[in-house]
Structure 1
Amino acid sequence: MRLFIFFLLLLFCFSLEAQSLSWAKSFGRGDSPLTNNAIKKALARDASGNVYTTGSFTSGAGGIDFDPGVGVFNLTSGGGTDVFISKLDANGNFVWALRIGGTGTQVGEHIALDVAGNIYIAGTFDSTPDFNPGVGVFNITSSGSLDYFIVKLDLAGNFLWAKSIGGSYGTSDNIINSLTVDAVGNIYFTGAINGGGQSFDFDPNIGTFLLTLPITAAYNIYTAKWDANGNFVWAKQLTASIGLNCVGNDIQLDALGNIFIVGNFSEMLDFDPGVGVFSMGVAGSLRAFLWVLNNGGNFIAAREFGGSGPTDRVLAKSFNFDVFNNMYLTGIFTGTADFDPNAGIFNLTSPSGSTLSLYVVKLSPIGILLWAKAVHVIPGLIDGVYDGVSSVSDCGVLVTGIFVGTADFDPSIGVFNLPPGIFTPYILQLDPNGNFIYAIKPNVTFKSPLDIDAFGNMYGIGTFSNTQDFDLNPNAVFNLTAPVEGNATFVTKLLPFPWAPSVISPLSACLNSTDTISASTVLGSSLSWYSEVTGGTFLGTGNSLITPVLTDTTTFYVQDSTCQAGPRDSITVNTISCIPLPITLLSFNAYLHNEAVQTEWVTTTEINNDYFTIERSTDAIHFDPIGTKKGAGNSNAMLNYEFLDQLSTFNFSLSTVLYYRLKQTDFNGNYEYFDVKAVYIEKNTSLDYLEVYPNPTTGEFFISWNDKLTNEIVIQLTDNLGKEIYTTFITQENRIQLKMNNELPKGIYFLNIQTNQTTVVKKIIKN
């Protein structure tokens, strides 16, 4: 099978390609904070930007250094595997590190903070460890083969209390798969209890509150609430008679304090833990659930996602809310599954009955399906999966993890494959509508969901071996090296950008004049312009800005209008002394023609014109000259020029965008730049012998190709600036007639013809 391990995040709008590293630190010889297929949220931040992490480690007598800087701070395990808790400041510098443990096996899996900065750590233990990381001792003895603990520390890491949950005898286990804390320190957690006929006491103090499994059940789903002092409030159980794959995987609170839980089940199950009945499920079919309770643990609602047969399997692992209270849910599935939790049907199908696919679902605040997307792999074999969610805005969706084999990360008709491999890391970005934006392959795998702050900075934790580059920018390198004898734990902070606006106008302008600067975004969304990087004067919205009179070199700042809390990108306009050049340029265009780029321009007047220079760029910022054309000197006639860029240095098996601009120089050496044009260079097309005719046209035209289609193609008509005129979809044809609207002005347009493998761009002229 093909393996996906993934995290889903809603994030401030930025381009992964432009993303850069703030810092990366490593310490210790850490083990993965994962002990099963559930999400382990092993990283948290406070209001000052300090970063707290937890996990497990094993050391020799000399200990392991947890200071990632030049200092040394050793922790020594007590003979087995112990828990670590680490605090770094906002710049990744060491603050403190603590140890919890004993002679057995203790693993830190979850960490959370309340608004006062108190720290909550949850994980597993056996034997009798000491849960006080300070000079005192606080022992708890495991009552089963694997018990769970929750420890509370204050802001400085001082011990406050520790509690445990255990089964009634040695082979029963309880599992905490997810934990969250509200504003006043109440603790909510979910998971599963295991061991047919066994009882688990969820009151950690002298009282007793038992949840008991039926004698025939393997697992039952539970959720529980404790107060800020670790006192029992309530616990609820969904009683399954068989209980295969019955587990709660993630728990979150909405803005009203209601409790949302997602997980899996595989039989008919009553989701009302009170006296009412609300049954869902299909016997023998692994399905996902969404379970909603109020703050008192009383039933509000439940929904399910899944298919109807034994090979139709859906696992819901994690979710979160955006600022508008929309829910984003992610998980994995095989076969065919309905992802509309209401009366409608919205099926997604994996490539084969046993192949694992990734899904991302967006629901409205009242639970209406907004969209569901899938990422598929070539059929293969699955080993294990975990995934996670974090959200900070409604500007996009980030999924990160690992995959095995070959996967297409574009959930639409397009194709975007990352290089195949075994346990290959990936980061996938989708827009708020679930459309593909970008996918990239980092060098390390994040073992816990990325956490995003109010400015869109991303924080991650994981383990690595050997030497790895932690900078996702392909033009930069930041290496960390793990100890020779094993893995190290890493913590990293990645900086966001707005949607990486691409400057599509010159960055020089005449002194004491105004100019128009332009930018575009990946999504084509509107931009906001400012005079300063923070605050400053709001200058307007749109993809272009008419500057004030430029009396000196000036920097302007631009950001996506939907991401006001995100950082702004800068555009600096250099002022130069200009002598007005009496050249009138009627048009300048560039387009793909037979694996070359044709540039054409027309002048109506030329005075003292020496020559033209054609320049090319891959980023719309740094241009190189590729050819010249002699000017007419002096002319009052309309003159046509052209230059063919043969692209001998470019690989046509790759897709890219090239930018072209025209520079005109007079006999005195004075020069002027004209507008930049973008040309999309795509893979060689499988649409052999594609023709567009008549061309030029008065409005109606035909597109034909050699063979009848076996897959859908998309035909998009755009103007010379890339603005969409219309889009149509074609199947089972090899010829189509299209028509331009009569209101469209005469001029140059472009047809973008897309299959699931390639894109062809054709120029068409309307007379």
Structure 2
Amino acid sequence: MKKQKQIKRSGILLFIVLVFALCFCGSVTAHDSNYPAVTITNPQHNTQVNGTVHINATAESHSEITQVVFNVSDGHVATDNNPNDGWSYDWDTSNTPNGQYSVKATALNLEGLTGSYTILLNVNNSQQSTQLTVNDVQGIPNQSANLNALLKDASSNPIQGKVVQFSVNGTVVGTGTTDSSGVATYAYTPTVTGIYNLQAIFKGDLRYASSQDNATILSLPNNPFLNYSTYFGGSEWEKGKGIFVDEQGNIYISGVTKSANTSPNDFPAPTGGVTRIGPGGNYDVFVVKMDRNGNLIYSTILGGTLRETPNSLAVDALGNAYVTGHTQSADYPTTEGAYDRIYGNVTDAFVFKLNSTGNLVYSTYLGGTILTRGWGIAVDNAGCAYITGITNSPDFPTTEGAFQTTKGGPVWHNGDEFDQVYQDSFDAFITKLNSTGTALIYSTYLGGSQAEQPLDIAIDSAGCAYIVGEETCSMDFPVKNAFQNIFGGGSQDSFVTKLNPNGTALIYSTYLGGLGADQGVKLTVDAAGNAYITGETYSSNFPTTEGAYQRTYKGPDENNGDAFVTKLDTNGALIFSTLLGGNGDDAGTGIAVNSDGTIYVAGQTASTDFPTTPNAYQTTNAGNYDAFVSRLSPDGKVLSYSTYLGGNTIVAGTATSTDQANNLVLGQGGFYVYGFTNSADFPTTTDAFQKNNGYKGTGTGVWDMFITKFVNPTQITTGNVTGEKDATVNLTATLSEANTLGYAPLANKTVRFMVNGVFAGNATTNGNGVATLTYPVSLVGGNYTVQAFFDGDLDHLASSTSGTLKVPQSSLHVRTSSNKANPAVGDTVIVTYKLSNDGPDAARNVVMRFTVPEGLEYIGATKDVGNVEYDEATRTVIWTMDTVPVGDPYISVNMRVLSAAVFGLQPQLTTTTYDPTIASSVLYRTLTTRERAVDTSGNSNASVNAATANGTGSGVGVNAASSTVPMQTTGFPLVGLVLAVLMLVGGMATSKK
């Protein structure tokens, strides 16, 4: 016992010594002066903080400080390794609950020694409001577009480092983190055309309140496509003044030419030459007609010995062309019986009509004794021409009962075209001429006490005339049902007037303008009588409507305006109005509208930031002035297409490059823009009628015409189809053309199909754009490429697509077995046919037939799939299955043995699916039966034999051979033995008492 106590004491003593040794040897403390000295200088201990807290620390040591680690008790940790800007850390408390927190700064020197300093800070964040703004986005399917959202605080300062969530059509697509400008960006790729709802959400934190904003993603078709573009003109200059495209795709163009009568007289002519009407002078009117392939049908030149200026062209349903303008020629060519064959004075308007081959039908002057100019012309279904223009003739011809039979402005007498009276003396006129050009149906003035200048006219199906133009400061311009009934200010306002079919009264008449100068240039009318107007405005307060594409005036000064597009309903009420422009001078000069209300606008722009769309043909201004082509949605809110159009290399003799579109018309599958250019590199196509600017003179007025055609791309789609060999399938393809926001079916177009690289046939699209070709499948099993081609035409781009024709292939096999070997007469035997399909495809319309041999009696059959029938007349079991997938269905046929014999058990197997191995997949089987006898052994050792078609085979119901099955021990006796031995060896076994 004493020894045990000594041992216990020794153990305790040893334990104490070890503990003491460990404590003594655990660390070596350096002299205090070796530790870094750290101080947090900002903010002060126990002060209140919020937002982002800037923490500054100083650290000193006899050796270099390598880093300072900042630990905040809310879990934030930061390391500053750069002493050059001081030791600091910005602690963002946005997500830190209000309360007291410790901030510890720990410095580390080169010797590995540390020193620390701790302060307490009180977080007290009051949540600030935020403003999140997300922008509308335009893109193209399958091309990435950036979604941008700007996050600001209540003071409009950008907020950095916050996560913004973006959702499209209600589904979250991704997030972005705001940068130093407060902008979060996420790259999103739309997959199809259309308008997507875009939402950006900042969920907020303890410092900043949540905010969100909504916008739209406009995914545009990749269209239109510049399909044809050409110069048109001779060695001198030409300016286009009118264009029309008929239902056959023929193009009619009018303008003024100097090339026709100036050596070398090389104005473009067809094979038969130019048709000349009148003596001709330096500046004559031309009218040309081209077919849809760009070939000239006729070129007609008309004029007197002085100068003619055409201003407008119209074409009727029969292909007759009507032109108006003004002439200074007393020998201007007129026709017998024309309404006015006598030249008035100074300048007269003219009207002439050409037939479909370019020959003159009628030609007449139109004017009074002073000055008259024709500016716009339209034609109705009866062939009556409607003309508008200006006149300062007090005796301009009017008709009885006309709306205004006397001139409104002052009378000009002195012949000086630069005096103020001249400038103020013009009234508008509207005249309807009969179909033969021999008489007026109606004619009226339109104006107030100062000048009006109409620039365009259109008519609707009821015969109402619509006039647009500019008027100069007439406070008494006739208005009715006006949405703007007073002069807007500035030097001039636009006006829009609708005249009843008889020319006797106004339906509506309105000013259109703001405080600057405004000019209505072109208008068009849809089937419902809505009027669409374009032009130019210098007014910062030009009337626009809520939601319009552009409401902010971007013209930089009084000499640089914006284009505008305005829509009025049939009663003159404003439907929408939008500006369209950039940082330079922009003007709309042509407008058209299609059947769904989509608006096309053409004009000229000097802006370097004129709005273009991602699918634009030309996204930058190539010269001083470029033409532009834009397309607006029917509500005026979405710019679905917009492009510059022009060159940047000038023709010799010019100072700057200028391309100006004069008008725009719709044609089959696209639209046509025409105008004039002095660019030497205006874009042309390889099939252009004239690839180069024809001007070869030395003057400064260098112009050739251009004609450019844009067509919509097409889209053709097809699906995958499955067809059995020797059957027929329908190959289908859907053809559509791109429009404003998607694709519309394209009917009556030929689609060409190819299968496996071989021409399969053509089919024509129906009203839904679907082409269907019935195709007989003669191909063996496999997958084949089906291609559908639309080869394009003059109005539509080609497109193609591919799909897959699957010809299924199966691999059927039958395995036969019986439940008894050598059954005796009177026994029943079950023969099982196991059908397997090794694929690769399911087999269709599978039928297995088994004829029950004489000597066997059919009792019944069971199966796991399909249907089974028994035909008593033919003794045939018929097992039918619609589809046999890759797998192992079976049928068991129960029969009674009636006689001893060898019976064939081979079935017949068919399928409509291509199966190259089916003929050899069913082996010939036999069943051998015997007479009934006493079996003393208890075994029936009859056999069922199988033979292949060539006589060899192996047994199906094979006899079971006898064999010895060895007994297996459970393992427990051995375990018991081992345990007993261990117990004996270990002394664990004891004798019984």
State the match for 1:553 in structure 2: 786
Task: Return closer, same or farther for 1:182/1:516 CA change in 2, 3 Å cut-off.
Answer: closer
The equivalent position to 1:58 in structure 2, one of 258, 280, 296, is: 258
Number of residues of Structure 1 aligned to a counterpart in Structure 2: 524
Task: Return closer, same or farther for 1:296/1:262 CA change in 2, 3 Å cut-off.
Answer: same
- Return the letter of the residue paired with 1:304: Y
Task: Return closer, same or farther for 1:365/1:571 CA change in 2, 3 Å cut-off.
Answer: farther
Per chain length, whose mean CA-contact separation is higher, i.e. which structure has more relative contact order (CA < 8 Å, sep 6+)? 1
Q: 1:180 offset after TM fit, Å?
A: 0.7
Pairs within 5 Å for 1:685-764: none
Q: 1:218 offset after TM fit, Å?
A: 2.7
The equivalent position to 2:432 in structure 1, one of 213, 216, 225, is: 225
Q: 1:22 offset after TM fit, Å?
A: 4.2
Pairs within 5 Å for 1:345-356: 349-352=553-556, 354=558, 355-356=560-561
Q: 2:338, 2:450 → 1: CA distance? A: 41
State the match for 2:692 in structure 1: 480
Task: Return closer, same or farther for 1:391/1:202 CA change in 2, 3 Å cut-off.
Answer: same
The equivalent position to 2:358 in structure 1, one of 157, 161, 169, is: 157
- Return the letter of the residue paired with 1:497: N
Pairs within 5 Å for 1:37-52: 40=241, 42-52=242-252
The SS at the match of 2:396 is strand
The answer to whether 1:336 aligns with 2:540 is yes
Task: Return closer, same or farther for 1:26/1:556 CA change in 2, 3 Å cut-off.
Answer: closer
Q: Do the aligned partners of 2:534 and 2:565 also contact (CA within 8 Å) in 1?
A: yes
Pairs within 5 Å for 1:239-254: 239-243=447-451, 246-254=452-460
Cα deviations by residue, 1:144-197 (Å, 9 ceiling, x for unpaired): 22221112233333333322133434xxx22222111111122212222237xx
State the match for 1:441 in structure 2: 644
Pairs within 5 Å for 1:665-684: none
The equivalent position to 2:667 in structure 1, one of 450, 453, 457, is: 453
State the match for 1:286 in structure 2: 492
Task: Return closer, same or farther for 1:85/1:569 CA change in 2, 3 Å cut-off.
Answer: closer
Q: 1:395, 1:479 → 2: CA distance? A: 34
State the match for 2:711 in structure 1: 496
Q: 2:703, 2:335 → 1: CA distance? A: 22
The answer to whether 1:391 aligns with 2:593 is yes
State the match for 2:519 in structure 1: 315
State the match for 2:384 in structure 1: 186
Cα deviations by residue, 1:72-99 (Å, 9 ceiling, x for unpaired): 6596974432222223233222222222
Q: 1:174, 1:501 → 2: CA distance? A: 51
The equivalent position to 2:802 in structure 1, one of 561, 573, 592, is: 573
Q: 1:254 offset after TM fit, Å?
A: 1.6
Q: Do the aligned partners of 1:323 and 1:392 also contact (CA within 8 Å) in 2?
A: no
Q: 2:445, 2:256 → 1: CA distance? A: 30
Task: Return closer, same or farther for 1:65/1:24 CA change in 2, 3 Å cut-off.
Answer: same
Q: 1:226 offset after TM fit, Å?
A: 1.7
Q: 1:410 offset after TM fit, Å?
A: 5.5
Q: 1:139, 1:530 → 2: CA distance? A: 48
Higher strand residue share: 1
Where does structure 1 lack aligned partners over 5 or more consecutive residues?
A: 1-12, 35-39, 204-208, 560-564, 581-767
Q: Do the aligned partners of 1:148 and 1:164 also contact (CA within 8 Å) in 2?
A: yes
The equivalent position to 1:263 in structure 2, one of 469, 473, 496, is: 469
- Return the letter of the residue paired with 2:232: S
The answer to whether 1:299 aligns with 2:516 is no
State the match for 1:90 in structure 2: 292
The answer to whether 1:234 aligns with 2:442 is yes
The answer to whether 1:214 aligns with 2:410 is yes
The equivalent position to 2:315 in structure 1, one of 113, 118, 122, is: 113
Q: 2:681, 2:490 → 1: CA distance? A: 46
Q: Do the aligned partners of 2:561 and 2:587 also contact (CA within 8 Å) in 1?
A: no
Q: 2:328, 2:768 → 1: CA distance? A: 62
Q: 1:99, 1:66 → 2: CA distance? A: 9
Q: Do the aligned partners of 2:674 and 2:707 also contact (CA within 8 Å) in 1?
A: yes
Task: Return closer, same or farther for 1:336/1:491 CA change in 2, 3 Å cut-off.
Answer: closer
Which structure: larger Rg? 2
Task: Return closer, same or farther for 1:92/1:220 CA change in 2, 3 Å cut-off.
Answer: same
Q: 1:519 offset after TM fit, Å?
A: 10
Q: 2:790, 2:489 → 1: CA distance? A: 58
Q: Percent identity?
A: 20
Q: 1:202, 1:63 → 2: CA distance? A: 44
Q: 2:690, 2:300 → 1: CA distance? A: 28
Q: 2:500, 2:340 → 1: CA distance? A: 35
Q: 2:430, 2:589 → 1: CA distance? A: 20
The SS at the match of 2:387 is strand
Which TM-score applies when normalising by structure 1? 0.57
Q: 1:521, 1:162 → 2: CA distance? A: 43
Q: Do the aligned partners of 2:631 and 2:639 also contact (CA within 8 Å) in 1?
A: yes
Q: 1:388 offset after TM fit, Å?
A: 1.9
Q: Do the aligned partners of 1:202 and 1:235 also contact (CA within 8 Å) in 2?
A: yes
Q: 1:495, 1:417 → 2: CA distance? A: 16
- Return the letter of the residue paired with 1:448: N
Q: 1:517, 1:502 → 2: CA distance? A: 5
Q: 1:440, 1:56 → 2: CA distance? A: 27
Cα deviations by residue, 1:458-484 (Å, 9 ceiling, x for unpaired): 3635455645431399xx999334243
Q: 1:157, 1:421 → 2: CA distance? A: 36
The SS at the match of 2:353 is strand
Task: Return closer, same or farther for 1:229/1:213 CA change in 2, 3 Å cut-off.
Answer: farther
- Return the letter of the residue paired with 2:333: F
The SS at the match of 1:281 is coil
Pairs within 5 Å for 1:16-27: 17-22=223-228, 24=230, 26-27=232-233
Q: 1:442 offset after TM fit, Å?
A: 2.5
- Return the letter of the residue paired with 1:482: G
Q: 1:252 offset after TM fit, Å?
A: 0.8
Q: 1:290 offset after TM fit, Å?
A: 1.8
Q: 1:67, 1:14 → 2: CA distance? A: 39
State the match for 2:632 in structure 1: 430
Which TM-score applies when normalising by structure 2? 0.45
Cα deviations by residue, 1:440-463 (Å, 9 ceiling, x for unpaired): 232364553122224435363545
Q: 1:113, 1:129 → 2: CA distance? A: 26
State the match for 2:345 in structure 1: 144
RMSD: 5.0
State the match for 2:565 in structure 1: 360
The SS at the match of 2:390 is strand
Q: 1:105 offset after TM fit, Å?
A: 1.1
Task: Return closer, same or farther for 1:126/1:368 CA change in 2, 3 Å cut-off.
Answer: closer
Cα deviations by residue, 1:697-737 (Å, 9 ceiling, x for unpaired): xxxxxxxxxxxxxxxxxxxxxxxxxxxxxxxxxxxxxxxxx
The SS at the match of 1:214 is coil
Q: 1:516, 1:50 → 2: CA distance? A: 30
Q: 2:339, 2:265 → 1: CA distance? A: 23
- Return the letter of the residue paired with 2:685: D
Higher helix residue share: 2
Q: 1:295 offset after TM fit, Å?
A: 0.8
Q: 1:253, 1:139 → 2: CA distance? A: 24
